[in-house]
Chain A
Amino acid sequence: NAGVTQTPKFQVLKTGQSMTLQCAQDMNHEYMSWYRQDPGMGLRLIHYSVGAGITDQGEVPNGYNVSRSTTEDFPLRLLSAAPSQTSVYFCASSYRQGTSPLHFGNGTRLTVT
């Protein structure tokens, strides 16, 4: 049982480049979300989805896009990377929005130079 799988584990980008962080879950969870974790800032919500075809913004959505074409996958796209997007990104899923415990992937460490 894989749970939540994130790829890649590490990535270095130059300013202005674009990339997609992949996230897949095999628990048939309807709710999926992306957080970024920065020192001293805790986990901050970027975007979330309550089901296939439905996405919404979180606390820090600027510079990121998401889509949800299937229940299993929830990719996060950086359109034009900036040094301020250097962070560790976590994908998480849960059975139900809001109150259900989150199952996290092991993160993608992104550095933008």
Chain B
Amino acid sequence: TQLLEQSPQFLSIQEGENLTVYCNSSSVFSSLQWYRQEPGEGPVLLVTVVTGGEVKKLKRLTFQFGDARKDSSLHITAAQPGDTGLYLCAGPNQAGTALIFGKGTTLSVSS
């Protein structure tokens, strides 16, 4: 069974701090996606990583896909209160019929 494990489960930091959250699996994924979900809303796609070793930047957010395509990380530089939310990673199942999700990292950034 493919699983995506995210860590840490919860993270509470002050504005201006840097942080990294992780998405790990024992399975190889053809791609991984990262979503952010705010309270009362559905998840919204941030980025898709496809190539092993790939690094993508979205303003202060840096996403990396592991060389073996079994893991990914999200690094936020100088976190702001607007970064608060649930961060989810997701990847296609082996049959290619659906996306499976990790349980997420809940980030709280206080000013």
Using CB atoms and an 8 Å cutoff, list the residues of chain A in contact with chain B: 4, 33, 35, 40-45, 48, 56, 58, 90, 92, 97-99, 101-107
Contact = CB atoms under 8 A, between A and B. Distances in A.
B101 A56 contact: no
Contact of B98 (A4, A48, A103): A48
Contact of A104 (B42, B48, B93, B97): B42
Given A40-B103, A41-B103, A48-B98, A101 B88 contact: no
A44 B88 CA distance: 13
B99 interface: yes
Contacts, number: 57
Interface of B: 30-31, 33, 40-45, 48, 88, 90, 92-93, 95-104
B99 to A, nearest CB: 6
A21 to B, nearest CB: 14
Contacts of B41: 106-107
Contacts of B48: 101
